[in-house]
Amino acid sequence: MILALVVVTALGFDFTNGFHDTANAMATSIATRALRPKTAVALSGILNLIGAFLSVEVALTVSNAVVRIQNPDGTPKESLTADGGTALLLIVLAGLIGGIVWNLFTWLLGLPSSSSHALFGGLVGATIAGLGWAGVNWNGNGSKLDGVVGKVILPALISPVIAGVVAAVGTWLIYKLTVGVAQRFTENGFRWGQIGSASLVSLAHGTNDAQKTMGVITLALIAAGDWTDTGNIPFWVKASCAVAIALGTYLGGWRIIRTLGKGLVEIAPPQGMAAESSSAAVILASSHLGFALSTTHVATGSILGSGVGKPGAQVRWRVAGRMVAAWLITLPAAAVVGALMWYLGSFVGGVAGAVVIFALLLVLAGAMWLRSRVTPVDHNNVNDEWDGEQPADEPRVPAGTGAA
């Protein structure tokens, strides 16, 4: 029963992960109208699906980076698997709920925060609540980049800067090199370049992020005694995670797409191409070097960089500041939610406790969804001007009559 709730919640997290991160790959292509909004999210969704299926490698030890609930070979700690694994399942469930709640909340505010940070934050919080401070892997053991500091905090500080520098240099070079070329040539050419580089980001996202959820679900299965092979993932887990992230991506987090595509910088096709190439290169290079990072931080850094690199472009630093603030509190905030959920769940106890916190998640998610309907952002108005009042009586195609 608890296991079923964990699996459903994990897939739910995967889904929010997808729609939270659509913006990372596609915000620029949508903003420059290289792709129609619906086409962009469909393309990104398909590439995420493919990417998720490509990840044959097992990411079972994903939680080891931040918490100590697993042995190095991926099996859960024995102390947590007594009693049918309830202790471990409750930690994982509370952690996942923390991640989802924070993902939805930042989506409501239109802020691109990191889904991996939300997941790690939720797990850290639930672990502190369940096992105490010593249950968290803060600093690793000093032999490699590890722990909350090494895998989460340092990359979050460094990666946006790297991506920003690369994108700024790229943008600057592109503008320098195409001086004197007619606009119809540059616009068209760079639109294609942009679509290609954005597709690469989507594919990389699918392989990286879906893997995390697959690892979490498999860990839960092992803890409950329903799976024993630490070298493989059940096929249904892989398939359902792939579908969940792809559906989430296709649904599109329009609020976040709007912030990234229109809020930070007015993006022209050459900038879009520079930003996405920078994202793709930084993401691939760091995963090659085993340097964990968040797609969100990289994409945001790149877009900012493309604004810095274009002569005369304006960057809305106030919006950027709000984003950075959201990044800083993502881990602790998701941790607080995760911890609260664990306390509540263990206070009620057993299966009932898990049901109660799951129900609470549904209530919170429903409330935030209802709140989002007050000021809807979808594929019809995602590209509206950022500044300036939108007159209320402006003739606009009502939602529902579009291509939906």
Partner 1 sequence: MSNLGFALEGAWKVLAAGLILGAGLPALFALGIRALAFGAGGDAEVNGGRPHRTGKVMAYALFAIVILGVLLGITFIVASGFGKTISFEHIVPTIVDK
Q: Which residues bind partner 1 (CB under 8 A)?
A: 51, 54-57, 139-140, 142, 144-147, 149-150, 154-155, 158-159, 162-163, 165-167, 169-170, 173-174, 177-178, 180-182, 184-186, 189-190, 193, 196-197, 200, 203-204, 207, 270, 273-274, 277-282, 284-291
Only one residue has tokens 């191409």, namely 273
Q: Which residues pair with 136 in a beta bridge?
A: 67
Beta carbon of residue 74, minimum distance to partner 1 (angstroms, whole number) = 14
Contact 37, 30 (CB under 8 A): yes
Q: Which of 385, 357, 333, 372 has its CA nearest to residue 31?
A: 385
**Between 64 and 286, whose beta carbon lies closer to partner 1?**
286
For 390-399, the CB contacts below 8 A with 24+ separation are none
Question: Alpha-carbon distance 345 to 332, whole Å?
Answer: 20
| Six token digits for residue 170 | 């790229």
**Between 106 and 137, whose beta carbon lies closer to partner 1?**
137
Beta carbon of residue 383, minimum distance to partner 1 (angstroms, whole number) = 23
**Between 70 and 202, whose beta carbon lies closer to partner 1?**
202
**Between 86 and 306, whose beta carbon lies closer to partner 1?**
306
| Residue 378: count of CB within 10 angstroms of its CB | 16
Q: Which residues pair with 67 in a beta bridge?
A: 136
Beta carbon of residue 157, minimum distance to partner 1 (angstroms, whole number) = 8
User: Can you tell me whether residue 384 is helix, strand or coil?
Assistant: coil
**Between 99 and 155, whose beta carbon lies closer to partner 1?**
155
Beta carbon of residue 179, minimum distance to partner 1 (angstroms, whole number) = 8
User: Can you tell me whether residue 333 is helix, strand or coil?
Assistant: helix
Beta carbon of residue 249, minimum distance to partner 1 (angstroms, whole number) = 16
| Six token digits for residue 127 | 């672990």
Question: Alpha-carbon distance 122 to 93, whole Å?
Answer: 9
Beta carbon of residue 197, minimum distance to partner 1 (angstroms, whole number) = 8
**Between 68 and 77, whose beta carbon lies closer to partner 1?**
68
Beta carbon of residue 40, minimum distance to partner 1 (angstroms, whole number) = 18
Count of positions (residues) in the chain: 404
**Between 169 and 360, whose beta carbon lies closer to partner 1?**
169
Question: Alpha-carbon distance 178 to 376, whole Å?
Answer: 39
